[in-house]
Amino acid sequence: MINYYLKKQRLRPILSLWFLCFILATYDVQASGGKDYDSTSYPDQSVITGTVYDGSTKNEPLIGVTVLEKGTGNGTVTDFDGNYSIRVAPGSTLVFSFVGFETKEVVVSDQKTIDVSLNLDQEALEETVVIAFGGKQLKESQVSSIATINPAELKGPTNNLTNMIAGRVPGMISFQRSGEPGADNSDFFIRGLSTFGSGKRNPLILIDNIESTSTDLARLQPDDIDTFSVLKDAAAASVYGARGANGVILITTKSGKAGKAKFSARAASRVSTNTDNFQFADNITYMNLANEAALTRDPLAALPYSRIKIDRTAAGDNPYLYPSNNWIDQILKDYTINQSFNISASGGSERARYYVSGTYNVDNGILDVNSINNFNSNIKLQNYSLRSKLDIDLTSTTSATVNIYGQFDDYNGPIANGGDIIASTVNANPVAFPAIFPSEFYPIAEHPLFGNAPLSLSSNALYVNPYAEMVKGYRTTKNSTVQAQLLIDQKLDFITEGLKIGTMNYIRRYNTYSISRAYNPFYYQASRNPVDNSVMLRVLNDGTQSSIGLPGTEFLNLAGGENQSNSRLYNQFTLNYDKTFNERHVVSAFLINVLQSFETTDYSNLQQSLQYRNHTFSGRFTYAFDRRYIAEFSFGYNGSERFDRTNRYGFFPSFGVSYILSNEAFFEKWKDTFTNLKLRFTYGKAGNDEIGNEDEDRFFYLSRVNPNSGDFGAVFGQDYNYYRPGVSIDRYANSNIGWEISEQYNFGIDIGLWRNLNITAEVYRQKRTNILQRRTEIGDVIGLTADPQVNFAELESKGIDLSLDYNKQINQDWWTQARATLTFATNEVKQTNELNYPDDLSYLSKVGNNASQMYGYLAERLFTDQEEVNNTPTQFGNYTGGDIKYRDVNGDGVITPLDQVPIGLPTTPELIYGFGGTVGYKDFDLSIFFQGSARSSFQIDPRAISPFVLGTGDDTGRQNGLLKAIADSYWSEDNRDLYAFWPRLSSTIIENNVQSSSWWLQNNDFLRLKNLELGYRASEKLTESLGLRSLRIYASGINLAVWSSFKLWDPEMGGNGLGYPIQSTYNLGVQFDF
Amino acid sequence: MKRKLVLVLLLPIVMIYNACDDYLDVVPDGLATVDKIFNLRQEAEKYLFTCYSYMPRLGNLRRNAGFLAGDEMWVPDNRENGDYFALEIALGRQRVANPYYDVWQGEYQGGLPFDGSEIWDGIRHCNIFIQNMSDPSNVPDITPTERERWIAEVKFLKAYYHFYLMRHYGAIPIIKENVSVDAPTPSFDVSRDPYDEGITYIIGLLDEAAAVLPPVIADINTEYGRITSVIAKSLKARILVTAASPLYNGNPDLSVMINKDGTPLYNTAFEASKWEIAADAAKEAIDAAEAAGLRLYKFNKASTGFNLTDTTVTKLSIRNAITDPESFEVIWPNTQSLTDGADGLQASAMAPLEVGHNTRVARKVISPTITMAKLFYTDNGVPITEDKAYDFNDILELREAQPDERYNIEEGYRTSRLNFDREPRFYADLGFDGSMWYKRDALGDETKWHIEGKFGQYSGSDHPFFFNETGYYCKKLVNWRMTFSNDGGTFENYAWPEMRLADLYLLYAEALNEIQGPTAEVYSYLDQIRERAGLDGVVESWAAHSNNPSKPLSKEGLRSIIQQERMIELAFEGQRYWDLLRWKRAVQEFNDNVQGWNINGDDEASYYQIRTIHIQNFISPRDYFWPLSETSLIRNTNLVQNPGW
């Protein structure tokens, strides 16, 4: 597949170039693999008619069966009575195909009528789902809650698989907060956030049963995926007791199939742009409002910008003396081009089969880096991966699988991450200095002449020049993941039929390192030469006495780096038994023992450096009777190294029953409408041992003491140099701490209607208990240096997952598919450790609220004037008319944290939905997919967008820009709009206005046109002439439009609005298999 | 073949299950735990230092509420230079939600040793240390003498930390023993102990410590700064004088302070005996200090090789008593609170003395108020309002410095009337527009450096955040060996003097006057201090120069003189705020205006105008004590709030 993603007119040259490449590529394929097309015609064609029947018991005519002359495009579809008519020559072959039935071929001799009966496709009926530990289960006998997604659904014009999940998987809450390559993974939770402990909240990801990170998932190629399942309830996940409480994502990659080598290749190149650029006010407004901001707070304040400067800038005077930058245009490109290549080969003999695939992806950032250096500091993330799977039948009863996977990221980018550069860009003063002066100003300098200015006349600090920040150096980061996996299965039928043992072992190593190289930029300031009115430059940071800021260097320095590794070793042994007795009793059982250990260099103390280990012993037993009644029992008995010996192991049982109504004899009469009707119920428990703060907490039964703490040292001696570090106690021992437990009920119903429509609906309730918490109620007087922790909190969550699939071949030319999912998940804190609030402050209690509920003050409106301020309860810091007025909830005459109430909806969306479909006409198909999110809120971070505010600390030299939305609506002395978007301007942070409050609350609902695709599949004739097995051309786009009440930035980014924008991509592409 | 394979498969299983038992035991022996600390002297010493690490950093402008919560000095209220949360108290913004300079919860610059940590933690460490060290089977490699000494030091620290809290909050819970981490929740809800019981307990600890500790540090290279018996006795004197003072001794305002179980927290009846035991303790401390070789600091002119005038030598005696790292007057140097560095106390006080001097090391933000400038005596040794010879009523009047005044004020420079005819401590402690700033690098030329403080001048206030608010500068806190260099400057480091002998003398004089009224002994201690400051004795100064010559002869008059003497002598050392509170004079003094010269003026006419920086509003009795935060009260319902909050 070769894709080109296009957006703007200016891309036409690229488009033409691409077509040229495509033609060349096509030519190449023709040259190497093409064969001459021999067109032959049969003159003595005759008309064949007939009827197609349902070959099952009823023998009724089938409507909409495709009838094709084999090897040609000649075909038709049966009508309402199952009749068809087609003109073919004798000797040709007719192919009858219909969804859910086996395809049948009939050779035409001299008959005129051919009636055909199609048999039900047993394979389709016996559709399997992947369950825990590599097992497979007939979909029919599935009891627990498992959502399976067709991997093709996950294909899209993005190099990050996690961004394709939202709205496509029922039961999964997912959102993307950043669009920066390498940092653009979506957050996802199965059935919403179901714990609020500080430990693991996201699901366990298993790729070929190897515990993987969300980045591994992001890098996975949809082409390589064989199955993608999500285990949602405890009954499905309990066997993973140690990590399964938050649900499990189970992915298997493709295996080879015996036969001739088959190749599949894909090359893609796409254009991506920001979904939404921030709208800033123009620079003249900026200066006028900066002056107003200073004066409105202090009538005697010095004006930041003189009238002359404003007028000259407006007149477009010398750009070096009166700079006026549009930093976003100068730093960010409108679009960037990404590429993706994937090739796979599979095949083999009956005894040994292989699947090999390789991937190369390039994601570029949107920084506009000019060639002032010979190094490029734009973000470029290159990703290589190689996957090789070999299945060998060692004997007739023994099989082995060897699976080797390597995944490598090469990142090149600015010293700071892309989000930081964006932050410098939107927080740069636009009129204080130009980005860079032409080198003619100072020809002898070999370094770039960056512009800058001191923060004030007597300041020792300079502004941040975002352009210099971007180009002053570069960072390279290399990540490698290598894993080797061996599976061996042995059938033990010679002991008893249906018995099998197996073992699976893998080792996985990960390493990342990064190196940064940068020079310190030289900064220059322009002034007018009074003699001849020319522009003079003055160096600001040459290191002399009057130098300001870090002195410049002409040479690169090493600017830090890091190196981290981790390793995982896994060993599994399984025992399986499957047998059917008397054709009606299906029994299966399996037992598994797993040992796994993990070690990482990402530690900050000795306790963290120790190995992480788990022991799991679990099993599952199922019994099915007559394909109608199914019962299942599973358990996990799990041990974790983190807990004290006395409660190191947790036992997590589960059971489930299901009833397939549609297989009952009495149901037969409705079978035409209800092709499938099944009820399911499960109850179970699962555990979570990754609790507490990952950076600090392990071995809760041990205290953690730092015997060499620099924070608590002391110094003595006449010369103040007899120093000894002190002792800090960072954790108190508590041997009672154990597993966080999830207890779940799931009720599901599967409905199949008219063979076209499949509906699955599930409702669930989950109670999470033993959530680890800090005992914050212990007063300061006790003098504890760390809050003791206990398994205390409880959270109850519940929700609905709904999915709907529709497939229909309307007639020979038209077919359609539709799909919709809806996930609703909400939760309620049942018990939490908090202060003992008296009755009149009971609203402060978190019990009864959502775990991600925000708290804040109730903002009533803006103050009209100082007099009103004087006559209302005291608020925060200095404030006056035009600042936010809060409600004194507890009526004590002062606004304090005790006046904070729950505001808005949860920050994690409660409702995620997606819907879309495909319509096909002949060789064309059109797909559209919408995705939405509802029932969540966020707060704008007012500190981040307070205009004209100078940064402090690490942000020194940054100055917040003026968003157009603020310039358009703010309280001013002339326009006392009590409900303006922005309060009275100020050039410093007004503490009163940046409190968490309903003023900044925003609704986070949105609906997005996630994906749109128009495709054309070349006819077999053309395909064959090119020597290909298939060929398809299509145009598609992702994140094309969004509807939301919030307009300042992409609503999916939430409060992180001035970060790296979410990307839209556009493409036009071709795909071929050979 | 099949059977072989099965065996091959079974083999690893057998191996795994053999090892399985220990599989989850990943913790090796030898992890650091509290018990391990007390195995060796070397580790136990670190725990001792941990106990010391909570020592309040009173030599830090931001971490000494005494500097900024009152009216002694002001700083620019400007966020670019970081917050001064104690100043928020002076500005009348103290609050119950997130209190400023919150020592109780260790927030807003009240944390020890840093924000987020509480002095209560230090007390818990002290208890752990005392408990473990008292068990002779712990730390077997320490000598019994040293063990006793360490325990005594930590007892001292435990007492001091309690006192530090009591200064802010009055009666507090006394943590004699630690509450176990595993205790049931109700036992965490400790309540306040009555103030006098607390005092008795911590005085007991100090007595136990003083009995064991050495009077002087022998090994000054590694132990200078450690607690001695003289320090313990001196602190005892300060605590007992505080407890005898009007705020705590018979203060009817505190009758409302009753625990929820009905226990009154203060004895509201005056007890004269409190002054007696305070006087005894002060005398005992003075005797011990003098026996240990401590005496009032006098500058040794001979050590310089320069030919310095007596005026300058007197001023150096006053300045160096505090800033000389080897000052033999300092009883208790706090080596945890040093004063050098670009953000140190000295840099905050220092002013540029020439065009081009770097404002990063000469920030001049410490700005003594006009109230303080008026407090100092005239050169006749009496208050400016009482001196018969001079009229200071119109401080806007300017005068030109005469040649004989050139060691104090630049010759020919014109400055306010207020700055002329003052006592040596005025010129030693304060800088102002036109004043000399003698430093060692001026060599013998005592007139080399002077301040020019109008707007636009080199010491003026045109820096956006490193500027002086009042036009008065604090020379007292800067060591005379300070030097400027091209890119900054260097300070001679000194440890913050928590207590010096002059303080003890004044405490003793104060207590003695309360018991006996004016006596020769009271005068003698005052006069020793005045003598070092270049002034005549109290009686003769008042007799000769005051329009109220009999003032030193009455108990009340002498009390007023002792209090003024104390505020002058200990000016800018963070004592005035606490003294005015314990004398219950804060409600008068802290309802005055905070004033300075008009620092935005760039000529004499505009600069010498009085600029009111802040109108103080001290609410009595509320502001005599810090508020407990409202969350502390919700967390522990047995705590009662201080009056008025």
Q: Is the pLDDT at B524 greater than 90, yes or no?
A: yes
Nearest to B26 among A611, A704, A894 (CB): A611
Of B106 and A1020, the structure prediction assigns the larger pLDDT to: B106
Residue A1 has a pLDDT of 35
Question: Considering Cα of A664, then A665, then A667, then A670, what sign does the dihedral take?
Answer: positive
CA distances A784 to A694, A982, B179, Å, are 21, 43, 10
Of A712-716, B463-467, B618-622, the range with the lowest mean pLDDT is B463-467
CA distance A155 to chain B (A): 40
Distance (Å) from the alpha carbon of B456 to chain A's nearest alpha carbon:
11
* pLDDT at B401 (0 to 100): 95
- Helix, strand or coil, per DSSP, at residue A661: helix
**CB of A343 within 8 A of CB of A331?**
no
Return the residue in A487, A599, A603, A780 with the most chain B beta carbons within 10 A, the one to mutate for interface testing: A780
pLDDT score recorded for residue A906: 87
pLDDT tens, residue by residue, B275-292: 999 999 999 999 999 999
Q: Which pLDDT score, from 0 to 100, does residue B288 have? A: 97
Task: Look up residue A24 and give its amino acid.
Answer: L
- Yes or no, beta carbons of A702 and B27 under 8 Å apart: yes
DSSP B554-612: SHHHHHHHHHHHHHHHTTTTT-HHHHHHHTT-HHHHTTSEEEEE-TT--SHHHHSSEEE
On whether the CB atoms of residues A270 and A1063 are closer than 8 A, the answer is no
Residue B157 has pLDDT above 90, yes or no: yes
Is A545 buried (19+), middle (13-18) or exposed (0-12) by CB count in 10 A? exposed
Which DSSP state fits A82? S
Tokens 């500097």, residue located:
B67
**Residues of chain B contacting residue A394, judged by C-beta atoms under 8 Å apart:** 5
Q: Which of A702, A708, A717 sits opposite B222 (nearest CB)?
A: A717
Which A positions 424-483 lie with beta carbon below 8 A of chain B?
Answer: 456, 458-460
Residue of A595, A704, A714 lying closest to B53 (CB–CB): A714
pLDDT of residue B518: 95
Q: Residue B188 and residue A782: Cβ atoms within 8 Å?
A: yes
State residue B316 phi and psi, 5-degree precision.
Answer: -70, -35
Q: Residue B68 pLDDT > 90, yes or no?
A: yes
Task: Give the distance from CA B179 to its chain's centroid.
Answer: 31
Give the chain A residue whose CA is nearest to the CA of B33.
A705
- Report residue A347 CA to chain centroid gap: 33
CB B124 within 8 A of CB A782: yes
Residues of B in contact with A397 (CB under 8 A): 2
Please say whether the beta carbons of A65 and A79 come within 8 A. Answer: no
Cβ within 8 Å, pair B114-A711: yes
Query: With b meaning 16 or more CB within 10 Å and e meaning fewer, what string describes A238-276?
Result: bbbbbbbbbbbbbbbbbbbeeeeeeebbbbbbbbbbbbb
Which own/partner pairs from A493-496 qualify as long-range (CB within 8 Å, at least 24 positions apart)? Answer: A493/A397, A494/A397, A494/B2, A496/A577
Mutation target among B27, B330, B633 for the A interface, most CBs of A within 10 A: B27
Question: What's chain B's average pLDDT?
Answer: 92
Q: Would the pTM count as exceeding 0.80?
A: no
Q: Inspect the interface and report whether the beta carbons of B12 and A503 lie closer than 8 Å.
A: yes
Q: What is the pLDDT of residue B468?
A: 93
Could you give the ipTM of this predicted complex? 0.93
Q: Which of residues 724-743 of A touch B (CB under 8 A)?
A: 724-729, 732, 734
Mutant choice from A546, A611, A727, A835 vs B, greatest count of B C-beta within 10 A: A727
Task: Please state the rounded mean pLDDT for residues B563-585.
Answer: 96
CB contact under 8 A, B179 and A782: yes
| Low-confidence spans in chain A with pLDDT less than 50 | 1-42, 124-125
Q: Is the dihedral of CA B183, B189, B193, B199 positive or negative?
A: positive
pLDDT tens digits, residue range B422-463?
999 999 999 999 999 999 998 888 889 999 999 989 999 888
Which residues is A516 bridged to in the sheet? Answer: A475
Mean pLDDT computed over B85-91: 93
Chain B within 8 Å of A778 (Cβ-Cβ)?
yes
Per the structure block, which two tokens stand in for A358?
């390789």
Report the DSSP beta bridge partners of residue A541. Answer: none
Interchain pair A713, B49: CB under 8 A: yes
- For residue A318, the one-letter residue type is N
Q: List CB contacts (< 8 A) between A456 and chain B.
A: 464
Nearest to A835 among B179, B188, B634 (CB): B634
Are A610 and B27 a contacting pair at CB < 8 A?
yes
pLDDT given at position A2: 35
Partner residue facing A783 (CB), from B13, B124, B639: B124
Q: For residue A957, what are the CA distances in angstroms to A281, A285, A294, A326, B361?
A: 20, 21, 18, 18, 21
For the cut 80, the answer to whether the pLDDT of residue B108 exceeds it is yes
pLDDT tens digits, residue range B324-370? 999 999 999 999 999 998 889 999 999 999 988 888 889 999 999 99
> Read out DSSP for A395-463?
SSSEEEEEEEEEEEEEEEE-SS-HHHHHHHHHTS-SSS--SEE-GGGSTT--S-EEE--BSSTT-S-BP
Burial (CB count within 10 angstroms: exposed 0-12, middle 13-18, buried 19+), residue B485: exposed
Q: Which two tokens stand for residue A965?
A: 């939305």
Closest Cα of chain A to B530: distance in Å? 29
- Chain A residues lying within 8 Å of B112, measured CB to CB: none
CA distances from A330 to A422, A882, B227 (A): 12, 35, 63
The pLDDT score that the predictor gives to residue B485 is 87
Compute and round to an integer the Cα radius of gyration of chain A.
33
Asked if B637 and A779 touch (Cβ cutoff 8 Å), the reply is no
Residues 6+ apart with CB under 8 A from A123: none
**pLDDT score, position A140:** 65
Query: What would the mean pLDDT of B378-383 be, rounded to a whole number?
Result: 96
A301 SS3 class: coil
Residue A675, helix vs strand vs coil: strand
Q: Look at residue B508 and tell me whether its pLDDT is greater than 70.
A: yes
Q: What pLDDT digit, counting tens, does each position of A612-647 carry?
A: 888 888 888 888 888 788 888 888 888 888 888 888
- B411 — pLDDT class (breaks 50, 70, 90): very high
- Identify the closest residue of chain A to B334 by CA–CA distance: A716
